[in-house]
Amino acid sequence: MNKFRCNDISTPGEILERCLFNDKESALSFFERISPKQIYLIAVSTLIVLIVSNQLLIHKILDEKQDDATVINLAGRQRMLGQKIAKTVYLAENGEIDLQGLKRDVEKWALVHEGLTNGNQEFGIEAIEIEEIKQLFSELEPHQVAIQESLANLSTQQDVINSIPIIQKHEASFLTKMDEIVDVFESVSNNSVQKLIWFEIGLGLF
C-alpha cells in the first residue's frame, strides 16, 4: 500500500485534516505496539524514580535543617557570650573576677565571630552567602572589633576596668544587631525548608 503524503491533496484544508489524522494514527500505532508487560515496567520504573527522588529530597531537607540549626545555635550563643563578657567586665569594678576565664571567653567569642562570617570546618559551617546577613554582619563589625580590641591584652583586673567605657558604648548595639542576625538566619532557614517541602509535594502529586 502506498503511504499517504500530505501534498497528495490539493486543498489546504484537506492537507491539514489528513496530516492530523495520520499523526493520530501514528500515536495510536505506537501505543498499540507496547505490550502490557512493557507498560507495567514503565510504570514501575517511573514509580521507583519518584520514590528515590522523594527520599533524596527528604535527605536534603534534613541536611539543610541540621546545617541551619548549627548556624542559628552558634549565632544565639554568640549573643549570649557577648552579654556574659560585658557582665564580667562590669563586675570588675566591684570585686575580683576570673581574669583567665574572661580571656578564654573573649578568645572563643572572636573565634565564633570569624567562623560565622567566613566559615569554619571545625564548627561545621560555611561562609555566609546571603546578602542580607552579610550586610548585618558588616554593620555589626565596628562594635565587635571595638569590644574585642579593648579586651585584647588583659594582664590585670585594672585592664578590664579600663575597657568599661568602650564596652558600655558598643554592647547594646552589638546585642541588638546579633538579635537581628539570629532572626534573619531563622527566617531564611524556614523559607528554604518550606520551598523544599512544596517541591516535594509537587513531586508527589506528579
pLDDT tens for each residue of 81-95? 999 999 999 999 998
pLDDT exceeds cutoff 50 at 187: yes
- pTM comes to 0.64
pLDDT tens for each residue of 27-82? 555 556 677 777 777 777 777 776 676 666 666 665 666 667 788 888 889 999 99
Task: Identify the pLDDT of residue 16.
Answer: 45
Q: How many domains does the chain have?
A: 1
pLDDT tens for each residue of 167-179? 999 999 999 999 9
Domain presence at residue 112: yes
CATH of the domain at 197: 1.20.120
pLDDT exceeds cutoff 70 at 2: no
Task: Identify the pLDDT of residue 146.
Answer: 96
Domain presence at residue 125: yes
Q: What are the contacts of 87-96 at 24+ separation with CB within 8 A?
A: 88/160, 89/151, 89/160, 89/163, 89/164, 89/167, 90/164, 90/167, 92/157, 92/160, 92/161, 92/164, 93/161, 93/164, 96/157
Domain presence at residue 27: no
pLDDT exceeds cutoff 60 at 186: yes
Domain presence at residue 16: no
